Structure 1
Amino acid sequence: MATSSKFTKDIDVTTCPICLEEFKRPKCLPCLHNFCETCLNSYIITAFKSESKSKVRKSKFNCPVCREQVTPPDPTVAHQEWAKQFRLNHVIVSLMDQNKLKAKQKLCDPCKSMNDDVTAVIWCHDCNEALCEMCANAHKKLKVSKDHDLKNIDELEDTPVITSVQSCENHDGKNVEAFCKDHNQPCCATCVAIHHRKCDHVITLKEAANGILESKEISDLLERLKSTSDLNQDIIKKKRENIKMLEDKKLDIQKELQETRHRIMDSFDKIQSSFMQKLTQKHNQKVKELTDSISDIENRNK
């Protein structure tokens, strides 16, 4: 849990690289870069302004960050609809909800929508909203929300928020409520009524989730995750050993350099001492010769 908190603190993964503001409906591209749906849509429309000059209809666009070519799930539809096709990144939505919980002043989301700043005390996991005491009481009374999972915000500050509601990718403001086994995709009530009314196997999300934890796919996934985790732990252990080895090597080099310096200084001191001794002898010899010469000249002068 602490790792998640540190990660969100050290690296701002909730900021759109296009508008440089907090994500609004973050959409994830196959290259794993994320953008606000509206920002991505504007980028695609701008990129396609040159299409009118070309007779060939484009079916791809470049990622705004890594420039990798991206093909939308259905390139046959108008490019103005491409951004809606990419999956909503629920991990980032959860991180933004968690950051909202960690804010110094937590405001009630329903009250804030009415331009009224009221401190929130409750978090609804189903709606992913912060609620003040009055809104929380109303939440419990409403038929559609009386069974929602409500928690005290102070209890959630050190725990990650898991987004329990998935928004429909085709219909804004609608939550996923069912699962179509024929098309293997979640859908909202509108999707069921329009696109899946002829499907034979449309079930509730609860029915779709029954037994999923015991399924072979989940078992295989957990096994792969454990194997990957063990491998990562081995890599971390080896890298820490490498760090320790580098630290030891650094200390050895420092020690060797210090010893070499002392040896060089000792040798230099000996050379200097010998040189000074010879210099003194030579100096005294020359001074004596000159002094004797001066005495001789003085005697002659007398």
Structure 2
Amino acid sequence: MASPINPEISNADLTTCPICLEQMKVPKCLPCLHSFCETCIVAYCEHFTAASGNQQTLECPVCRSVLNYTKPKGTSETLLVSPEKWVQTLPLNFLIVELLERKQFESTNKMCFSCERLGEKSGANNFCKDCGELLCEMCTKYHRANKLTATHNIHLFTELSRDELKNFKQCCNWHPGEMLKLYCCDHEIECCSLCVSVDHRRCATVKTIEIAAKDICQSDLPKNIKETLVCSKQKLKILRERFIEDSKKFEDQVLSIVEELNDFRRDIKTKVDIISDKLTAELTQFSENSERKYSTKVKELDDRIAVIDNELSIFTTVFEKASNVQIMATMKELGKKSPLHTTFTNHFTNTYFHSHLTSTVSKELDKINNALEKCMVSTVSQQCEFPLTCNLLPSVKLKLISEIKKEKRNNEACFSSNGYIFVADFYSKCIEVYSIDSTKLITLQLQYSPYDLASDGHGYIALLNDMDGSIEFLNENTLIIEQKLSINKNSDGISLNENFLVVRQEKTIECYDRLKGTLCTKVEGLPGLENSSYVHVNKKGFYFSCGDIIYFKTFPDLPEGESDSFIYTDHTFEGVEAVETDDKGNVYYSDYEADKIGLMSCDGSKSYAFDVHEELIRPMGLCLSKDQKYLLVTNDMGSTIYVYEIEKDGYLGVEADVSENVGAQLIGEIEKIKAIILSMVHVHGN
């Protein structure tokens, strides 16, 4: 059986058939998203069926995905069919059809589409914008004379811009001749005007295809798909390298033990030779078995990486060259595929075991008489605990957009869940509410001096009364205190989410069940714990600093596999105060001693400081807005509160990334990302 076709060939040009290596003719798309000429895939199916004797399944020539010869879902039957009939039911790859047509547009010898369909060759110099076809002079004449096409916009090809040529129109499959111009959001399907009138007249939301495509491009879907593909590829590459590395180490260990056996043979005569030959044979068998084992694993990983490479190539091409309709269709297809890569990757990660050989030969040399029958080699496997995470540290810039100046120090600030800035004024005994541009909106007077405050992200602000030893929960919308919780007096800082409240004191940190008001866990006895007063809570646990170290501890009763603790440190840390995390687990931190704010990846492998040193003086508190577009910094002991806008520009070490606003710039050069992707991944474990 033939080996998988080199995936790099299919990535070089999507319009090249991976089987015949020529430009595709009638491109058919398999369920795994690889495409081939219709005649080529039929011939391959027949050859595969004859060679394997399997009349029911087929392996993709590129990725080896197993496919069934069945009729597509939705037909009256799902019985097995012949390969030829099965290929006929496969969908036409309209993306490649568009690319092939675009090649004709861009070639110097442009041929008339109508004449080509009749088997004739005629040079074309006109273009019908409504049909999206090149026409010769004769076909242009008949096109204008035909009653149905008389009103079409026909122009000389040289008069049209590249953008006009790019906007190919696709016809409706259900209403021939009607163009797909609309999109039903209720059914998530492209429609022509007749579709909307007949089948979607009761639907609530119908948009033009341009607006719908723009919404998709500006949503998180393309970004999430790309991140899933890139992360899955990174993890699979790491696993692939691990299997290759284990295979080489395994072979080295085999050679080492063989050498040990040779020494053993020189010292002992007859029976030792017999044992040596026996063990050498066992080692040879081990070597053969391990080679087959690791080759199989590496092959599976190569095939999956080839699938991801193909989807990345499709992803790149569709946003650079495809129509809006194809963007919608491709995003839906890729959206279905990306969870499968995550499942596949997680399966390999969870089932990966590191194997090595052990030998008892050396230990038995002093007990030759009893050891001759005991000498053996064996394989020992153990699961390696290394968290394969996609550590793409975003490249972030902070842009100062406003600031809140206070007459006295000891002020703290946080974002509410609806984007307003709440400031705890210690000396004025009040809470002040500001807009993002630092305009004061309202002042709420209190009976005590609020020492700290924090938002749970779901409509409540917690206020710390350190003298009374209590925390009050303020409704963000009504500005009414709705709950009160008693804690120890002289507490320094608080943070919370929906379920937990964490309180930092001078030498301890206490975690409370917010609903029950009971103490869940306590941290104490760490050196430097008294050096800061800040603590930060996210979904899984809480972060706190101790001088030049940042600690993370998970909440109690987390599911098995999610409970853990980490320590973050960096040689540039001097006096870390506050910590904040984004939705990817990346850590923002303020360094009071070094007058800086920094960002560290979720695994602590990468970090950098922001270029905002000029305005920073002893930064302390930090707070990210719920949408993670803004960062609050309490500067100079809280005398000034800076509001920074977070500007993301790709990832650290990656030259191109998904754009936030423009779909046409969603990704840069994928090959550049591939060249440096391994240098971006740091793995911790055995």
Give the alignment's TM-score, normalised by structure 1: 0.53
**2:143 partner letter:** H
Q: Give the secondary-structure state (helix, strand or coil) at the position aligned to 1:35.
A: strand
Please name the residue that 1:82 is paired with. Answer: 86
Cα 1:115–1:76 shift into 2, 3 Å: closer
Structure 2 CA distance for aligned equivalents of residues 209 and 164 of structure 1: 21
Q: Is the 8 Å Cα contact of residues 114 and 135 (structure 2) preserved in structure 1?
A: yes
Number of equivalenced pairs: 209
- Which range moves more in the overlay, 83-92 or 67-76? 67-76
Shift in Å, 1:18:
1.6
Q: Is the 8 Å Cα contact of residues 176 and 186 (structure 1) preserved in structure 2?
A: no
Offset from partner CA, 1:245-300 (integer Å, 9 cap, x none): xxxxxxxxxxxxxxxxxxxxxxxxxxxxxxxxxxxxxxxxxxxxxxxxxxxxxxxx
1:57-136 correspondence to structure 2 within 5 Å: 58=56, 60-71=57-68, 73=72, 76-79=79-82, 80-112=84-116, 117-136=121-140
Q: Is the 8 Å Cα contact of residues 97 and 128 (structure 1) preserved in structure 2?
A: no
Structure 2 CA distance for aligned equivalents of residues 237 and 124 of structure 1: 46
1:239-278 correspondence to structure 2 within 5 Å: 239-240=654-655
Shift in Å, 1:62:
0.6
Please name the residue that 1:164 is paired with. Answer: 169
Structure 2 CA distance for aligned equivalents of residues 224 and 164 of structure 1: 26
Q: Give the secondary-structure state (helix, strand or coil) at the position aligned to 2:166.
A: coil
Q: Give the secondary-structure state (helix, strand or coil) at the position aligned to 2:207.
A: coil
**1:32 partner letter:** L
1:21-36 correspondence to structure 2 within 5 Å: 21-36=22-37
**1:164 partner letter:** K
Q: Give the secondary-structure state (helix, strand or coil) at the position aligned to 2:31.
A: coil
Please name the residue that 1:298 is paired with. Answer: none
Q: Is the 8 Å Cα contact of residues 178 and 205 (structure 1) preserved in structure 2?
A: no
Cα 1:82–1:112 shift into 2, 3 Å: closer
Shift in Å, 1:49:
2.8
**2:169 partner letter:** S
1:13-24 correspondence to structure 2 within 5 Å: 13-24=14-25
Shift in Å, 1:130:
1.4
Higher strand share: 2
Q: Greater CA radius of gyration, 1 or 2?
A: 1
**1:66 partner letter:** C
Cα 1:126–1:107 shift into 2, 3 Å: same
Cα 1:14–1:64 shift into 2, 3 Å: same
The correspondence for 1:213, drawn from 198, 202, 207, is: 207
Structure 1 CA distance for aligned equivalents of residues 112 and 153 of structure 2: 16
Offset from partner CA, 1:155-210 (integer Å, 9 cap, x none): 446235344234859xxxx947599x9x99899xxxxxxxxxxxxxx982464688
Structure 2 CA distance for aligned equivalents of residues 65 and 110 of structure 1: 34
Structure 1 CA distance for aligned equivalents of residues 188 and 49 of structure 2: 32
Q: Is the 8 Å Cα contact of residues 115 and 121 (structure 2) preserved in structure 1?
A: yes
Please name the residue that 1:288 is paired with. Answer: none
Q: Is the 8 Å Cα contact of residues 171 and 179 (structure 2) preserved in structure 1?
A: no
Please name the residue that 1:224 is paired with. Answer: 220
Shift in Å, 1:221:
7.1
Q: Give the secondary-structure state (helix, strand or coil) at the position aligned to 1:47.
A: helix
Shift in Å, 1:101:
0.6
**2:61 partner letter:** P
Gaps of 5+ in 1: 1-9, 188-201, 244-302
Q: Give the secondary-structure state (helix, strand or coil) at the position aligned to 2:32.
A: coil
Q: Is the 8 Å Cα contact of residues 113 and 133 (structure 2) preserved in structure 1?
A: yes
Offset from partner CA, 1:115-163 (integer Å, 9 cap, x none): 6543311223454431012311210211233344534322446235344
**1:136 partner letter:** T
Structure 1 CA distance for aligned equivalents of residues 126 and 179 of structure 2: 27
Structure 1 CA distance for aligned equivalents of residues 132 and 208 of structure 2: 28
Structure 2 CA distance for aligned equivalents of residues 12 and 103 of structure 1: 16
Q: Give the secondary-structure state (helix, strand or coil) at the position aligned to 2:15.
A: coil
Please name the residue that 1:235 is paired with. Answer: 650
Post-superposition, which runs of at least 4 consecutive aligned residues in structure 1 deviate over 6 A? Answer: 183-187, 214-218, 229-233
Structure 2 CA distance for aligned equivalents of residues 37 and 94 of structure 1: 17
Offset from partner CA, 1:206-255 (integer Å, 9 cap, x none): 646885327998757742247559989743564249x9xxxxxxxxxxxx
Q: Is the 8 Å Cα contact of residues 216 and 222 (structure 2) preserved in structure 1?
A: no
Q: Give the secondary-structure state (helix, strand or coil) at the position aligned to 2:127.
A: strand
What is the root-mean-square deviation in Å for CA atoms of aligned residues? 4.5
Gaps of 5+ in 2: 1-10, 228-393, 396-647, 657-671, 673-686
Q: Is the 8 Å Cα contact of residues 108 and 119 (structure 1) preserved in structure 2?
A: yes
Structure 2 CA distance for aligned equivalents of residues 32 and 16 of structure 1: 13
Q: Is the 8 Å Cα contact of residues 63 and 69 (structure 1) preserved in structure 2?
A: yes
Percent identity between the two aligned chains: 28
**2:166 partner letter:** V
Q: Is the 8 Å Cα contact of residues 101 and 156 (structure 1) preserved in structure 2?
A: no
Q: Give the secondary-structure state (helix, strand or coil) at the position aligned to 1:130.
A: strand
Q: Is the 8 Å Cα contact of residues 126 and 165 (structure 1) preserved in structure 2?
A: no
Q: Give the secondary-structure state (helix, strand or coil) at the position aligned to 1:213.
A: strand
Shift in Å, 1:34:
0.8
**2:59 partner letter:** N
Cα 1:185–1:240 shift into 2, 3 Å: closer
Cα 1:126–1:38 shift into 2, 3 Å: farther
**2:36 partner letter:** F
Higher helix share: 1
Please name the residue that 2:194 is paired with. Answer: 204
Cα 1:222–1:70 shift into 2, 3 Å: farther
1:153 is the counterpart of 2:149: no
Please name the residue that 1:38 is paired with. Answer: 39
1:158-197 correspondence to structure 2 within 5 Å: 158-159=162-163, 160-166=165-171, 175=176
